[in-house]
Structure 1
């Protein structure tokens, strides 16, 4: 566990005005209480608030997760679910917590990408529903506690792929590329479709991983032009608007709905690797 400032922390310790949550003085009481608890906790802790999946986290989690996961104290919707939420979702614990049931996921393996290396840690995930005065669950508090179970061996990763990431949100692009590298793949990132087409013309890629909404042309049009030039190229779309724009496409593709979980991205890449091997 990294050394942290021992000063007391609360919502008043930070300026929230530029975040999705806005001025803390206008927050509902359950959000403020839960945030005060996590910000002053020595354990790495997350708060998932509302159906928009707004994320708040403390300094202990920020130090553990590394620079790719945003700045303390959060207060925004993440483009990709952080590893603790992905692990809790895979075990159905997150859904149960949203239904009002406190949950514990024992000995979860979490991988965090830092510059130049990946750090793997094991934690017990402790999920607590956060209710409003009517009893409705408004959020989920997730604390990362020392594990109580012995670690188990995990399978080796999938075959390496060469992936071009097209995402105009620079922070999201960096995070996705770093995660792909952590999975053992090669990844380049660009923000504009024109830059993507230039790279596709000059380099060899196995996968085009593109946001659907891009400046200049859509990710759909980009993929159509790319596949026309290189029919063997595999395409994975990331979209916050569903698959409506993809239904007319005549080439094979995979689609992930934002915010997607890490295991969903890994499953999509594993499927592409199997197709490439075949």
Structure 2
């Protein structure tokens, strides 16, 4: 069978990208571009904080706007939805975290109309020679199959109440938990959470410790009085002093936490 040569950095017009001469490119950048240009999956690369955005033909054909032409160069006036849908997730990637978001709906502009399509988004930090994150590679894979219904997933389904006053963080954790097959409700305050607890039974209360008004610790104590079988998980960005001497059972996670870490804790609750 004949081999077809893939794209390469030598065949691209880099004049729109402020990357400097190719012979001066860092090894991480060269490797990322080689991978990006030779994969059939849509890929989007943000290199440095200087708003240099690059992409392959698969991205331009399937996800980009009509004017998108590889290899790109600068971030457009309206950033791609794969980059703008969750600013907190992008900052987590800049901090060095590899992230995966399954079945994430993105808004796309096609033939004069806005449509929605789902992708599995993979964000991979790229480190320079000094070990610092120099760029982020985003891969848009076809959306994976939906999670199995609770009965088919060995009863792994949980009813979880998430309490987080940061809206971006709340959105992220709720979407991830739903992707894992759980039923999720959310509140931005302890008072709002108590209203939800009054109207429904939950398996797990997952709450930030520091909340406006009533604290997460007081919320956990009150929630257990109302629903004694409830299991409590706290998240805190500070020391665990507030949760080290609780008068009720609870698990504490230190922020920033990995969503897989939370999922493992939820598995262990069964």
Q: Give the TM-score taking structure 2 as reference length.
A: 0.57
Equivalent-residue separation in structure 2 for 1:145 and 1:190 (angstroms): 31
Count of residues in correspondence between the two structures = 193
Residue in 2 that maps onto 1:70: 87
Give the CA deviation at 1:230.
Answer: 1.6
Residue in 1 that maps onto 2:172: 175
**Larger RCO, structure (CA 8 Å, separation 6 or more):** 1
Match status 1:113 vs 2:113:
no
Give the CA deviation at 1:242.
Answer: 2.9
| 5+ residue gaps, structure 2 | 1-14, 19-45, 60-74, 107-115, 142-146
Residue in 2 that maps onto 1:259: 256
Give the CA deviation at 1:224.
Answer: 0.9
Q: What is the DSSP-based 3-state SS (H/G/I as helix, E as strand, rest coil) of the residue aligned with 2:202?
A: coil
User: Does structure 2 conserve the Cα–Cα contact (< 8 Å) formed by 1:180 and 1:187?
Assistant: yes
Q: What is the DSSP-based 3-state SS (H/G/I as helix, E as strand, rest coil) of the residue aligned with 1:187?
A: strand
Q: What is the DSSP-based 3-state SS (H/G/I as helix, E as strand, rest coil) of the residue aligned with 2:97?
A: helix
Equivalent-residue separation in structure 2 for 1:268 and 1:211 (angstroms): 16
Q: Where in structure 2 are the equivalents of 1:222-233 lying within 5 Å?
A: 222-233=219-230
Equivalent-residue separation in structure 2 for 1:143 and 1:33 (angstroms): 8
Equivalent-residue separation in structure 2 for 1:71 and 1:241 (angstroms): 19
| 5+ residue gaps, structure 1 | 1-6, 11-31, 45-57, 88-108, 148-153
Residue in 2 that maps onto 1:39: 52
Match status 1:195 vs 2:215:
no
Residue in 1 that maps onto 2:127: 129
Q: Where in structure 2 are the equivalents of 1:237-276 lying within 5 Å?
A: 237-272=234-269, 274=270
| Rg comparison, structure with higher value | 2
What do the CA deviations read for 1:35-80 (whole angstroms, capped 9, x no partner)?
Answer: 34x7321169xxxxxxxxxxxxx7899534773x2389x5xx44xx
User: Does structure 2 conserve the Cα–Cα contact (< 8 Å) formed by 1:112 and 1:119?
Assistant: yes
Equivalent-residue separation in structure 2 for 1:70 and 1:216 (angstroms): 26
User: Does structure 2 conserve the Cα–Cα contact (< 8 Å) formed by 1:64 and 1:112?
Assistant: no
